[in-house]
Amino acid sequence: DAKTTQPPSMDCAEGRAANLPCNHSTISGNEYVYWYRQIHSQGPQYIIHGLKNNETNEMASLIITEDRKSSTLILPHATLRDTAVYYCIVKGNEKLTFGTGTRLTIIP
Amino acid sequence: KAGVTQTPRYLIKTRGQQVTLSCSPISGHRSVSWYQQTPGQGLQFLFEYFSETQRNKGNFPGRFSGRQFSNSRSEMNVSTLELGDSALYLCASSPNTGGRETQYFGPGTRLLVL
């Protein structure tokens, strides 16, 4: 079973920041938080991952709370191309376990 | 670097047939994982290969098998196809195996079983 909880859907206006929350209250000390997204019928695309520090790359920022029980993926300036299902995954040494994710819709 | 490639991209088979799907990982990547995605079950892990050895296996029947070659390319085979095997089959590669390795996915092979 997936170890994360995400809202099933969210909307965000084009050009605004999209903030996608994820709860992972049972995360272990050696487990990473990964974010992927999947645009309709394509393979999942890696976005970002982190252990306990906040991370930023060219796609997004990842904010992990100090207790590591939740995190937020931030897309700073959402575009229509960011419409996708976003998966938050807690990963240790085992396989990726995908939940149902958050369907993010960017509104023009 | 070129990404993960999967062939064929689309496939139609009939019940009882078998099918072989191919995955070429990113150059230098030695771990290949396979996933099945269906509308009802979502994305589910099938198995992982590293250095030509199966490292992890998901909860799928023995009709699903795979292998990895010395160049890290991988194939998965499904025998005696059932209607429920219709799915998007995804391959992902990573440099090595283990928790710190980021997996990169290919575009998938969409299999339709009639």
Q: pLDDT for A47-102, tens place per residue?
A: 999 999 899 999 999 999 999 999 999 999 999 999 999 999 998 777 788 889 99
B96 — pLDDT class (breaks 50, 70, 90): confident
Which of A59, A90, A95 to probe the B interface (max B CBs under 10 A)? A95
- Residue B100: pLDDT over 80: no
Q: pLDDT for B49-81, tens place per residue?
A: 999 999 989 999 999 999 999 999 999 999 999
Query: Is the Cβ–Cβ distance between B15 and B1 less than 8 Å?
Result: no
Which of A4, A87, A96 to probe the B interface (max B CBs under 10 A)? A96
Distances (CA, A) of A16 to A22, A55, A75, A77: 19, 20, 8, 5
**pLDDT on residue B58:** 92
**pLDDT on residue A29:** 86
**pLDDT on residue A1:** 56
Q: In the block, which residue shows the tokens 């903030």?
A: A19
Query: Which residues make beta-bridge pairs with B45?
Result: B35
Query: Are B102 and A46 an interchain contact pair (Cβ–Cβ within 8 Å)?
Result: yes
Q: Cβ of B58 under 8 Å from any chain A Cβ?
A: yes
Measure A93 CA to nearest chain B CA, in Å.
4
- Residue B11: pLDDT over 80: yes
Residue of chain B whose Cα is closest to the Cα of A85: B42
Average pLDDT value for chain B: 94
A40 — pLDDT class (breaks 50, 70, 90): confident
Helix (H, G, I), strand (E, B), or coil: what is residue B83? helix
**pLDDT on residue A85:** 97
Q: What is the arithmetic mean of pLDDT over B12-25? A: 98
Query: Are B99 and A94 an interchain contact pair (Cβ–Cβ within 8 Å)?
Result: yes
